[in-house]
């Protein structure tokens, strides 16, 4: 059996050497073979179209799923962020409350009460010595020729 593809030896059919082109007319039997060829080529193409459609559908489905999944994820994260914000606000508030509680515990009146309970007294005038550190500006040369 003759190889049907031998006629389509691209090296021959598309040779640039025009002088090498066949001079004989193509035989009818070969023509028929040539006509059938497109039929033979359409079959794998149909198979490829379905696959593509399936593939596209799968991609679309995947994208849709991915989109929905992403939105669900974002929604979940947003909820978590909101919850975290609420916790932060709560903790900030608690910090303020505890700071205020601490401030009220170390107010001047409370300190005086505590010091008094411990038998402490305020410094008397005799225990305070004022030192006059004011004076004229002066410079001191610590090294050099002069």
Partner 1 sequence: MSSGLNKKLWYRAFVLLLVLVIGGFGVTTFSLGNIMLVNSDFYREKAESQQLRDTVIQAARGNIYDANMNVLATSATVWQTYVTPSSISKEEQEPIAKGLAEILEMDYEDVLKEVTADTGYETVGSPVEKETADKIRTFISENGFGSVVGLDETTTRYYPNNNLLSTVLGFVGTDNQGLSGIEYSYDDVLTGTPGRIVAAKNAKGADLPFSYEKVVDAEAGNSLVLTIDEYIQHVVEKYLEQAVEENEVTNRGCCIVMDVNSGEVLAMATKPDYDPNEPFVIYDEATAEAISKLTGDEKSEAISTAQQSQWRNKCVSDVYEPGSVFKIITGSAALEEGTLKTSDHFSCPGYIVIGGERINCHKTQGHGGQTLKQAFMNSCNPAFITIGQNLGIAKFTEYREAFGLESLTGIDLPGESAPIYHEESSMGVVELASESFGQTFKITPIQLITAISAAVNGGYLYKPHVVKQILDSDNNIVENIEETVVRQVISEETSAIICDNLEAVVSEGTGKNAYVAGYRIGGKTGTSQKIDTQDEQGNIRKYIASFCAIAPADDPQIAVLMLLDEPNVPNPYGGTLVAPFVGKISEEILPYLGVTPQYTEEEAESLSTTTPDVMGKSLSEAKSAIAEAGLTARVIGEGDSVVRQVPGASSSIPKGGTVVIYTDNAEEQKATTVPNFEGMTVSEANEAAVNAGLNIIIEGSTTNSTAYSQSIEKDTQVETGTVVTVGFRETVTVQ
Give the residue with the Cβ less far from partner 1, 43 or 127: 127
CB of 93 to partner 1, least distance (A): 4
Q: Is 116 helix (H, G, I), strand (E, B) or coil?
A: helix
Contacts of 15 (CB under 8 A, 6+ apart): 21
Give the residue with the Cβ less far from partner 1, 9 or 85: 85
User: Are the C-beta atoms of 64 and 35 separated by less than 8 Å?
Assistant: no
Q: Choose, by CB under 8 A, the member of 6, 16, 43, 126 that binds partner 1.
A: 126
Q: Which of residues 47-66 bind partner 1 (CB under 8 A)?
A: none
State yes or no: residue 107 binds partner 1 (CB under 8 A). yes
CB of 68 to partner 1, least distance (A): 12
DSSP code of 143? Answer: S
State yes or no: residue 30 binds partner 1 (CB under 8 A). no
Alpha-carbon torsion angle 61, 64, 69, 75, nearest 10 = -170
């Amino acid at each position: 059996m003759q190889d049907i593809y031998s006629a389509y030896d691209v090296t021959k059919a598309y040779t640039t050497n025009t002088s090498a082109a066949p001079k004989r007319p193509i035989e009818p039997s070969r023509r028929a073979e040539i006509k059938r060829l497109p039929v033979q080529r359409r079959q794998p193409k149909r198979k490829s179209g379905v696959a593509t459609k399936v593939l596209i559908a799968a991609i679309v489905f995947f994208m849709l799923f991915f989109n929905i999944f992403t939105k669900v994820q974002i929604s979940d994260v947003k909820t978590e962020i909101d919850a975290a914000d609420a916790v932060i606000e709560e903790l900030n508030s608690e910090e303020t409350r505890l700071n205020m509680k601490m401030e009220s515990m170390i107010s001047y009146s409370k300190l005086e009460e505590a010091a008094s309970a411990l038998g402490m007294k305020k410094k008397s005038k005799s225990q305070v010595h004022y030192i006059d550190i004011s004076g004229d500006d002066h410079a001191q040369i610590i090294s050099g020729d002069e």
